[in-house]
Amino acid sequence: MTQRKTFAIGLVATTAIATLAIVARTFSQTNQSTSLDTGNVIFLHPDGASPSHWGAARFLNYGSDGRLNWDRMSHLGVYLGHMKNQLTATSNAGAVTHATGVKVDADSYGLDETGKPVTALSGKPQTIMQEAIAQGIPTAIINSGIISEPGTGAFLAKVKNRQAHAEITKQIVESGVDIILGGGEVWYLPKEKTGRHAKSGKREDGVNLIDLAKRKGYAVVYNREELLKLPTNTKKVLGIFAAEDTYNDEPEEDLKKQKLPLYIESAPTAAEMLQTTLRVLSNRSKPFFIVQEEEGTDNFSNYNNAKGCLEAMKRADDAVGVAMKFIEQNPNTMLLTAADSDASGLEVIGEQISNMPLNQPLPPRQKNGAPLDGRDGTGTLPFVSAPDARGQRFPFAIAWTGFADNAGSIVAKAHGMNAARMQPTIDNTEIYRLMYRSLFTKTLPSSSP
């Protein structure tokens, strides 16, 4: 064979191989786009958690060189959380925006200024979860607080006042959602009715929502043990794990006097609730939608309880880890995390041991008057970080700017399917658009500038 013929044959072969490679890669990308463009959505809302909250949790649990599960999420965006009529988000209006994709007034819990249901970015007077239920998509809401907390409640209920817990809880039970996990037994039961956790219910309409749920086919569980034993083929679940919240959101000193724990021991953690929910919903033949809120991150901060806040942050991060592990085996799943505000302006004050001795209580305040928290509250020993890469541990304190929520720094994160769609700066309305695209394969027009 001549050298020219050899070269020609080799060129043809090389071209053919290259063409096949391009076709194969194109097919793979097209196939991946088709299979991974729509799927499961998990929205985790660690209420009030700013990067400073996450940073404090990182120091305490993993050290300055360690990484949270949250740190390992692949994409992030600076989150803009302003409302229609004020700069700082409220929990209820922030949740409504996440659930509908539109800005609302600060007092909204699903209703507009005229008292009508908010029209979502999709053009429908439904939240994204209500649309999902209508289309037969398996759904779940999970909360460490009472289930009527806006972070979950606003996805299924619409009321004039966020304090209308009885009505919100009723709308949730009647919504058709598959899994309901949280606290708030007092709002499921009529007055004078004793429950598993509640000494007496608080409903004034005489309705027993637990009985109603059972008639609707819900399996009812009341603690960690019962939840974890649920069969995988369970169709509907109502988990009620406390009379009110599953945590005791009071200052450290008050909890110590009352001998109360940060979290109720019998209640499942955020990670355990999500793990069971994933086990049950992934047994279905359709993609699912989960909204979960760790409310303790916000409520403990609002009481300037640093110990409780950091415990709540760890629980939120553990739930992130459960979701990320699920994504490893189920890549057609999007995980989103976002808070709507910065709870009480937490900041970490970390100094050398010579300036912050490990065996000396912290001063109650900084020179500018900002209150300081140590490991057990005001005037207690400093927190101590987990070892860094060199084995060193360092003292730190938590400083607070106040008790309220702030419009401070918030970072939203995404991981898994469609995570690359998250923009470097993301308006709160975009959370809805990302979830909608991943659930329904439809890209809605942006409502932000």
Cβ atoms of residues 292 and 141 within 8 Å: yes
Residue 112 lies in a domain: yes
pLDDT digits (tens, 9 = 90+) for 23-44: 333 333 333 333 458 999 999 9
Q: Which residue has the tokens 């409903």?
A: 203
Residue 6 lies in a domain: yes
Residue 445 lies in a domain: no
Whether residue 7 sits in one domain with residue 103: no
CATH number at residue 80: 3.40.720.10
Residue 204 lies in a domain: yes
Residue 145 lies in a domain: yes
Written as six digits, the tokens of 102 are 């539109």
Residue 374 lies in a domain: no
pLDDT digits (tens, 9 = 90+) for 340-377: 999 999 999 999 999 999 999 999 999 999 999 999 99
Cβ atoms of residues 333 and 416 within 8 Å: yes
Whether residue 322 sits in one domain with residue 204: yes
**pTM reported for the whole predicted model:** 0.91
Positions of the chain with pLDDT lower than 70, given as ranges: 1-36
Whether residue 52 sits in one domain with residue 7: no
Whether residue 22 sits in one domain with residue 53: no
Residue 93 lies in a domain: yes
DSSP letter for each residue of 250-288: S-HHHHHHHT--SB-TTSPPHHHHHHHHHHHHTTSSS--
Domain that holds residue 25: 1-31
Residue 244 lies in a domain: yes
Whether residue 232 sits in one domain with residue 102: yes
Q: Which residue has the tokens 């509250």?
A: 377
Whether residue 147 sits in one domain with residue 7: no
Whether residue 108 sits in one domain with residue 3: no
Bridge partner list, 113: none
pLDDT value of residue 425 = 97
Exposed e or buried b for every residue in 143-168, given b needs 16+ CB within 10 A? bbbbbbbbbbbbbbbbbeebebbbbb
Whether residue 95 sits in one domain with residue 23: no
Tell me how many domains the chain contains.
2
